[in-house]
Amino acid sequence: MNELVIWTLDWVPEGPRGFVRDLRLRWACEEAGLAYSVRTVPFEGRETNHLSQQPFGQVPFLRDGGLEIFESGAGLLHLARKSESLMPRDPAGEAATVQWVIAALNSIEMVTVPWWFLKISGQPDNALSGWVTSRLDQIEAVLAGREWLAADRFTVADLLMADVLRLPDVRASGDRPATDAYVRRVTGRPAFLKARADQLAHFAAADARRAAGADLPRSVENPRHK
């Protein structure tokens, strides 16, 4: 069986911890019971030090044997094809799941991330605020009428949508009880809690090495066995 390897950064400052997107792939593997390891690229020089694996200098990227995949959404869909726990096998359920994965990336995250960057850059009432409000109101209306996005059960679409919606600034941008309940429900799953704790521990270990004056290793592997 091919080994799944999730690549992330060896260290990040405290602010992004718990939100670096390798968490999405860790979470999916935890949900599906897929064994994986985590390896790293250096934070310093991250824009250019792994362009052969990720042409935009980002993380995460995924290796599955001889197959390499960049972009968290693509990695999630690849993992979902390995486990029915992440995506149904019937055509209608699969189509609905893929549809909502793309919606999370294109209709929600595409709006919320640039809005958030402008907000933390000192423009809290920036030109994207109205667009964000509209999109979040629209997903609130969807979630008010259902527990899950696709197939009447948890899928990788919920994993991704909840990860997009759980940003504190997004949660604080309005009163949306159905969305809040949805995010709590999805991020309360044991697989998410395990993945998040593992990511935080990964960066805490890097802090300890830096404090000790040790060189950060170029690759750190954390095997996980099911």
pLDDT confidence of residue 215: 55
3-state helix, strand, coil in the chain (%, to 5): 50, 10, 40
- pLDDT 10s digits, 82-129: 999 999 999 999 999 999 999 999 999 999 999 999 988 899 889 999
221 pLDDT above the threshold of 90: no
216 pLDDT above the threshold of 80: no
List the structure tokens of 110: 């595409």
DSSP for residue 215: P
List the structure tokens of 112: 């919320």
Q: Which of 190, 222, 223, 200 is nearest to 30 (CA)?
A: 190
**CA–CA gap between residue 123 and residue 194 (Å, rounded):** 35
pLDDT confidence of residue 120: 87
**CA–CA gap between residue 66 and residue 73 (Å, rounded):** 19
The rounded mean pLDDT for the chain is 93
List the structure tokens of 7: 């690549």
- pLDDT 10s digits, 141-187: 999 999 999 999 999 999 999 999 999 999 999 999 999 999 999 99
Domains of the chain: 4-84+190-211 (3.40.30.10), 91-187 (1.20.1050.10)
pLDDT tier, 214 (very low <50, low <70, confident <90, very high otherwise): low
- Model-level pTM? 0.93
